[in-house]
């Protein structure tokens, strides 16, 4: 697997969510994107022939948790949250995370030859996982496309064309990913429900003593109970 450089650990990812005032619903979305991306990564790792060409797990986790780090401030000024988020991560000293954040909306490198060999980047896993999560619900690419066209298309033909073109590329990525996975795209929601509990809560996310402004008021939960509720859904 490809070893990453300087990365924030899980606790620091959550602290950064607080620092940049990430709204509770965006936090839950980010955690679900992390669960989806990790499930896909673990499925790919079952294929021993492609293991050396896959991203490192901590990079995927941190990139997924922080992919919407700039979403809240950009809601107030119509800013490009992918670009602004990349700038934030660069300033924080996390260039690998910055590149993931910059491309989680619109992936730049669509190399089908590389994908045919089973070589996938953290950017691709998080780009795809984000397209499968509407709010905190796992949906098909078609369902996510319908939502994005309605939410962001604004009735503008050119904007809708670009959105649909982006999703055509995502469908192509899905084809290559799942040609190396032991399950289908339709299985994803059920598998995440079965997979995402103890592993993510215990191994990947902080277990004790952390509260997140907004979420505790919403649920009345703090500490390990809060993390468990966020991870398990």
pLDDT band at residue 56 under the 50/70/90 scheme = very high
11 neighbors 211 (Cβ within 8 angstroms): no
Indicate the domain borders of the chain.
Answer: 10-203
Round the average pLDDT of the chain to a whole number and report it.
Answer: 82
Instruction: Taking residues 225-230, report their average pLDDT.
Output: 32
Please tell me the least confidently modeled range out of 31-35, 122-126, 148-152.
148-152
Give me the percent of the chain exceeding a pLDDT of 70: 81
pLDDT of 7 strictly over 90: yes
pLDDT of 228 strictly over 50: no
**In whole angstroms, what is the distance from residue 77 CA to residue 5 CA?**
32
pLDDT of 232 strictly over 70: no
101 neighbors 69 (Cβ within 8 angstroms): yes
Q: Which CATH number describes the domain made up of 10-203?
A: 1.10.3210
104-129 burial code (b ≥16 CB/10 A, e <16)? bbebeeeeeeebeebbbbbbbbbbbb
Name which residue leads in pLDDT, 96 or 155: 96
Please tell me the least confidently modeled range out of 3-7, 68-72, 194-198.
194-198
Q: What pLDDT, on a 0 to 100 scale, did the predictor assign at position 1?
A: 55
pLDDT band at residue 145 under the 50/70/90 scheme = confident
Please tell me the least confidently modeled range out of 53-57, 159-163, 177-181.
159-163
Q: What pLDDT, on a 0 to 100 scale, did the predictor assign at position 3?
A: 56
Count of C-beta atoms within a 10 Å radius of residue 49: 9
pLDDT of 208 strictly over 80: no
Q: What pLDDT, on a 0 to 100 scale, did the predictor assign at position 226?
A: 31
Name 137's bridge partners: 134
Q: What pLDDT, on a 0 to 100 scale, did the predictor assign at position 109?
A: 85
Structure pTM? 0.81
Please tell me the least confidently modeled range out of 10-24, 101-115, 211-225.
211-225
76 neighbors 34 (Cβ within 8 angstroms): no
């Amino acid at each position: 697997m490809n070893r990453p450089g300087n990365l924030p650990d899980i606790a620091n990812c959550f602290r950064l969510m607080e620092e940049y005032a990430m709204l509770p619903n965006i936090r839950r979305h980010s955690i679900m994107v992390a669960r989806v991306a990790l499930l896909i990564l673990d499925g790919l790792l079952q294929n021993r022939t492609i293991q050396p060409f896959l991203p490192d797990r901590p990079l995927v986790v941190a990139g997924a948790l922080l992919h919407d780090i700039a979403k809240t401030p950009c809601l107030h000024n119509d800013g490009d949250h992918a670009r602004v988020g990349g700038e934030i991560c660069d300033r924080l000293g996390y260039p690998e995370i910055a590149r993931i954040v910059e491309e989680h909306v619109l992936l730049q490198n669509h190399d089908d030859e590389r994908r045919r060999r089973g070589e996938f980047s953290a950017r691709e896993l998080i780009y795809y996982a984000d397209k499968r999560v509407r709010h905190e619900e796992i949906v098909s690419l078609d369902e996510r496309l319908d939502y994005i066209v309605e939410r962001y298309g604004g009735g503008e033909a050119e904007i809708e064309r670009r959105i649909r073109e982006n999703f055509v590329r995502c469908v192509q990525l899905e084809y290559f990913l799942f040609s190396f996975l032991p399950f289908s795209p339709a299985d994803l929601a059920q598998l995440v429900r079965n997979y995402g509990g103890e592993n993510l809560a215990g191994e990947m996310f902080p277990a004790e003593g952390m509260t997140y402004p907004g979420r505790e008021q919403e649920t009345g939960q703090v500490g390990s109970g809060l993390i468990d509720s966020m991870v398990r859904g």
